[in-house]
Amino acid sequence: MTPRKPAAQPPAAARTARRSNRPKKELVIVTGISGSGKASALRAFEDLGYHAVDNLPLELLPGFAALVEKSAEVRQAAIVVDVREGSTLDRLPEILIGVRKLLPTRVVFLDAQDQVLVRRYSETRRPHPLGRSETVSRSIVEERQMLDAIRNVADTLIDTSTFNVHQLRAHIVERFGHEKLKTQLLVCCLSFGFKNGVPLDADMVFDVRFLPNPHFVAKFRKLTGLDPAVAAFVRKFAQTREFLDKVTDLMLYLLPHYVEEGKSYLTVAFGCTGGQHRSVMMAEEMNKRLKKAGYQVKTVHRDIPR
């Protein structure tokens, strides 16, 4: 009887490559203010292949993390933890310390402006999870107090004020959907107008209201900083060029340190009065400079009329 040959094994390099293509173990905790889009965010993570669980009791979190860490099938999981947890919610920062010893864990905190949250509740006619005895506005204030400690330990803050459900999904996919973004920093150069509020998810904010305002030049008033003539007007001032050079130097100093610390997404915001001219030009120019330096960059103009 001829002995059977052992099954051919793939080369070691191939086995290593196959293992390296598998997603790394990861747990994402989605939390934040009610009405900010946590359910939509969780569905987006599920579409990306994460094992998704809504409203997991906190006492089960360490056990769930241990299961994910040991599982051969589940490599990435996303769970929602929020005020439905009740009085034990303030234990999350403490529990998180132990969970992070088991596997890499990120906390994603979703937020939105109060007036946006009130409008969303009005449109959906759903009661706030803290109950019907208070107004929605009062419940939001109470909820913010309950979540303050959790917000402070969040790794990622997402302001959903200007998002619909499709835009939120696209944002989640862009930030978490590409494996390369977990090792390569993506910089978002964001323009905004202070009159519409400071972006909640900005990591750095630069106020460019000290620059001459094209709004007061009649031919520029209805244009934006995307127009070459407006950009040239803002750029012609010595303080503009000096400011850009100094901010560029600062960014090129900081970004390698962010990469070293494992940060995958950084929002650098430039604000002027209305978010139409100066901040737009600055965000566009910083985009060009950082791309030239080899970084992955995108630009978002929050307050340009759609």
Does residue 306 register a pLDDT over 60? Answer: no
Which of these, 149, 112, 148, 109, lies nearest to 29 by C-alpha position? 109
Q: DSSP letters of 62-128?
A: HHHHHHHHH-SS--EEEEE--GGGGGGGGGHHHHHHHHHHHS-EEEEEEE--HHHHHHHHHHHTPPP
Q: What is the pLDDT, as a whole number, of residue 50?
A: 92
Between 207 and 89, where is the model more confident?
Answer: 207
Q: What is the pLDDT, as a whole number, of residue 16?
A: 41
Between 42 and 122, where is the model more confident?
Answer: 42
Tokens of 146: 């309950």
Q: Are 257 and 185 in contact (CB under 8 A)?
A: no
Least confident stretch, 29-38, 127-136, 237-246, 281-290: 127-136
Least confident stretch, 20-29, 32-41, 184-193, 263-272: 20-29
Q: What is the pLDDT, as a whole number, of residue 20?
A: 44
Contacts (Cβ under 8 Å, ≥6 apart) of 122: 136
Torsion region of 125: left, alpha or beta (phi above 0 gives left; psi -120 to 50 gives alpha): left
Q: Are strands 105-111 and 204-207 parallel, antiparallel or unpaired?
A: unpaired
Q: What is the pLDDT, as a whole number, of residue 7?
A: 45
pLDDT band at 8 (very low <50, low <70, confident <90, very high): very low
Question: Tens digit of pLDDT for each residue in 97-146?
Answer: 999 999 999 999 999 999 999 998 888 777 888 876 678 888 899 999 98
Which residues make beta-bridge pairs with 108? Answer: 30, 156
Contacts (Cβ under 8 Å, ≥6 apart) of 268: 187, 188, 189, 190, 202, 203, 204, 206, 251, 286
| CA–CA distances in Å: residue 29 to residues 38, 47, 60, 135, 157 | 10, 16, 13, 28, 12
Which residues make beta-bridge pairs with 192? Answer: 271
Looking at the chain, the whole-number percentage of residues with pLDDT higher than 90 is 60
Question: Tens digit of pLDDT for each residue in 66-78?
Answer: 999 999 889 899 9
Q: Are 163 and 37 in contact (CB under 8 A)?
A: yes
- Domains contained in the chain, CATH given: 24-177 (3.40.50.300), 186-301 (no CATH)
Does residue 256 register a pLDDT over 80? Answer: yes
Does residue 184 register a pLDDT over 90? Answer: no
